[in-house]
Amino acid sequence: MRQTIVVTGAAGFIGRNTVSALNARGQRDLVLVDDLGLDDKWKNLRGLDFDQLLPIDQLAGYLESSEAQAVQAIIHMGACSATTERDADYLAANNYRYTVNLMKWSVAHGARIVYASSAATYGDGSLGYSDSDETTPRLQPLNMYGFSKQMTDMWALRHGYLDSVVGLKFFNVYGPYEEHKGDMRSLVSKSYRQVRDTGRITLFRSHRPDYADGEQKRDFIYVDDAVDVILYFLDHPQVNGLFNCGTSHAATWLDLTGALFQALDTPVQVDFIDMPESIRDRYQYFTESDGTKLRAAGYSKPFRPVAEGVREYVDAFLSKELA
């Protein structure tokens, strides 16, 4: 019998890398879901092996068809990931209600579902970064993107769906195939050409006295490590709940940029500019995944340190694709 996996956001960043990893495991019966639009996001699908490609608005019809009887899992990475998106109604429909409907369908039909939440749900971090069910209701996201993910997590928690589905709170993911994200892509992707061509990089100054310029910290996770977490939960349907997906080791922006300069064998030269006032009150100065729950769930693989991940990204992808 056919065993189909549906991947939403399949031409996007994490989705594309997930499809590649599934192909590497021999999985070809894949239904990819994404809107390709008029830009070059379609190029992310090159080299992938799949059965069908559907636009987002056709997924509901597909799931109502007889073909959907073969669906064993949905990996739901599709969402608007722009933290600067201001259309709250769009985010509520696209990130919240869409995900809720997929959870309902999956549980009703006995299919596995792993969906993307976000570390943006943690807001300013004052409540810490625990993914415990006790902490989740208390979180106060700083932007509508984070709130759309928080609404989804809360719905799943309130209605008991976290007993049978998995939500992953992704921290700062970086790696191949993120270029289509524009301003939302990682600093490594944004700055590769600048560092290569000029030997310099630009960072935001700190506007808090407790953080020096460039010493703001984030939990940076290489995309292959994030995909490994997704596949772990795909393979272990008995393990469910809301989990952080980060390294549990925060690194500074200077650590990240230093790794990029090192990968390009270039002396570090950093220029600092003021952070735009429009984002100062919504800027996260520190994020670090609490990995206790993930490790207790049986996930044991190590995560790449920033220097290793950036080096791999530059050598295996950026130096070839952004030549």
Active site residue 145: yes
CATH number of 4-173+220-249+287-303: 3.40.50.720
pLDDT of res. 279: 85
pLDDT of res. 51: 97
Domain positions in the chain are 4-173+220-249+287-303, 177-217+250-286+310-317
pLDDT of res. 281: 82
| Conformational region of residue 262, where left means phi above 0, alpha means psi within -120 to 50, and beta covers everything else | alpha
Task: Say if 4-173+220-249+287-303 and 177-217+250-286+310-317 have the same CATH topology.
Answer: no
Of 270, 285, 301, 150, residue with least CA distance to 202 = 270
Topology of domain 177-217+250-286+310-317 in CATH is: UDP-galactose 4-epimerase; domain 1 (3.90.25)
- Over 60: is that where the pLDDT of 1 sits? no
Say what the pTM is. 0.96
pLDDT of res. 322: 73
pLDDT tier at 127, thresholds 50, 70, 90: very high
Which residues, at least 6 apart from 77, have a Cβ–Cβ distance to it below 8 Å?
A: 7, 8, 9, 10, 12, 14, 15, 18, 115, 116
- What are the pLDDT digits (tens) for 64-113? 999 999 999 999 999 887 777 888 998 998 899 999 999 999 999 999 99
Q: Which two three-digit tokens encode residue 145? A: 């993107």
Of 198, 199, 176, 202, residue with least CA distance to 189 = 176
- Out of 122, 129, 145, 192, the active site residue is 145
pLDDT of res. 323: 66
- What are the pLDDT digits (tens) for 158-217? 999 999 999 999 999 999 999 998 888 999 999 999 999 999 999 999 999 999 999 999
Label the pairing between strands 251-252 and 217-218: antiparallel
Q: Which residues pair with 271 in a beta bridge?
A: 202
b/e sequence 38-53, b meaning 16+ C-beta within 10 Å: eeebeebbeebebeeb
pLDDT tier at 146, thresholds 50, 70, 90: very high
- The more confident residue out of 81 and 20 is 20
Active site residue 320: no
pLDDT of res. 183: 87
Q: What are phi and psi of 107, to 5 degrees?
A: -65, -40
Q: Which two three-digit tokens encode residue 183? A: 């301003």
Distance of CA 90 to the CA centre of its chain: 19
- What are the pLDDT digits (tens) for 256-278? 999 999 999 999 999 999 999 98
